Amino acid sequence: MALFDLTGKTALITGSTRGIGRATAEMMAEAGAEVIISSRKVAACKETVASILTSGGHAHGIPCNVARMGDIEALVTQSVKLCTKIDILICNAAVNPYMGPLRDIDDEAYDKILTTNVKNVLKLCNLVIPAMAERGDGAVVIVSSIAALKGSKALGAYAISKAADVQLARNLALEWGTDNVRINCVLPGLVKTDMARALWDNPETYERVLESYPIGRLGEAEDLAGAITFLASPAASWITGQALPVDGGASIAGGRYS
């Protein structure tokens, strides 16, 4: 269907060799986009690219550690060199090196979370969006979290960074809207990814966690890929500055896992 067709578009997706990022890359490639796969590990990038090519898609791999400013700059430069333009930017990669109360977090962990999840997301956007604005078309999706919507005893620092991402999307949407560049957030609930494994891969807590999800199951990476692809597609051409929970209803039910 034309509203969801990404043919002719190039999509740069950070953290796209596993989990939500990989599922999004695969879905966008299936929708016709040329995707740029990026993560810290060269081998993982090559494997993901090979998988997409085997399935008939178009993909390139560029290793990047989003915690490093130089890597981010090189990622954008190499992406434009390979594909001439970036039409879609998915800011998915994030870190969470600490779980526990804010009173115990050290400066190194706090700085790493805020630098990687907020400061460097803005840097990446500022490197990519101006060229989108010159062409009068572009879409950015920042992967936040429903942790942005509430307090947390265990994920406080991460939640702060993800709440900042929501406000970042709102501000950028205002700045770039007249240039037809749209910036939105998705807010995943608990998704079965490696990053969140400690929250779901525990038989003692799994059933309790599940009680917080009205749909009756935890999320899969593909659940988020569909929402992200939608926000990047022509079907969402009049949506900008929004934070879309994709969480099986957890945010309306008062989730208990955090």
Cα angle for residues 247, 249, 255 (degrees, 5° grid): 85
Short-list 196, 178, 176, 191, CA closest to 226: 191
Looking at residue 204, its amino acid is E
78 contacts 95 by C-beta, under 8 angstroms = no
Cα–Cα distance for residue pair 195/49, rounded to 1 Å: 21
Contacts of residue 103, Cβ cutoff 8 Å, sequence gap at least 6: none
Residue 168: CB partners within 8 Å, gap ≥ 6?
118, 121, 122, 125, 142
3-state SS assignment for residue 107: helix
Please list the active-site residues.
Answer: 158
* Structure-block tokens of residue 64: 């990047």
Kindly report the three-state secondary structure assignment for every residue of 22-66.
HHHHHHHHHCCCEEEEECCCHHHHHHHHHHHHHCCCEEEECCCCC
User: What is the longest distance spanned by two Cα atoms in the chain?
Assistant: 53
Distance, CA of 23 to CA of 226 (rounded, Å): 9
